[in-house]
Amino acid sequence: MIEPEYITIIEGPTPEFHQTADFSIHSILEGPVDAINTFTEMRTGNGEDIRQRCLSAWKEGRPVKLDFPDRMGLRKEVDVVGLRLKEVDEGTVLQLWVRQEMDQFNQEDDDQHLDFDDDDDGSLPF
């Protein structure tokens, strides 16, 4: 079995994934499952090390995965399809493009818009 390279978020908030219109990596998303490429960024103290590990893994034909805690604290993994480092005044920012299954992305998006109004009478909207 091919061992993936991991970028692991140990502490900090759950990454926020944003849909991107970057068409240059859409061909990577082809496969048996509907997927979407999303973008996230986070600060890192070892950006160059992460970049080198990812480049080495891709050169060897191994996948790169982002391992992170979701909002409930459960571990999740998504495939990393591209990365870039950006220097800012506060340090290094790791920019990641990841492949997410459509239902996984939509579920995360839906969770952010749940409405628990006390006025709800429980009736269905149709």
Task: Please tell me whether residue 72 adopts helix, strand or coil conformation.
Answer: coil
Q: Dihedral of the CA atoms 37, 108, 94, 36 (nearest 10)?
A: 0
* Residue 96: predicted pLDDT: 95
* Residue 107: predicted pLDDT: 52
Do residues 66 and 78 make contact, with C-beta atoms less than 8 angstroms apart?
A: yes
The predicted model scores a pTM of: 0.74
- Say yes or no to pLDDT of 15 above 60: yes
- Say yes or no to pLDDT of 19 above 60: yes
* Residue 124: predicted pLDDT: 38
| Residue for token pair 């920019």 | 95
Three-state SS sequence of 2-18 = CCCEEEECCCCCCCCCE
Mean pLDDT is lowest, of 57-66, 81-90, 97-106, for: 97-106
Identify the structural domains of the chain with CATH numbers, from first to last: 5-109 (2.40.450)
Distance (Å, whole) CA 10 – CA 101 = 23
* Residue 36: predicted pLDDT: 81
Between 55 and 108, whose confidence is greater?
55
* Residue 88: predicted pLDDT: 94
Do residues 10 and 68 make contact, with C-beta atoms less than 8 angstroms apart?
A: no
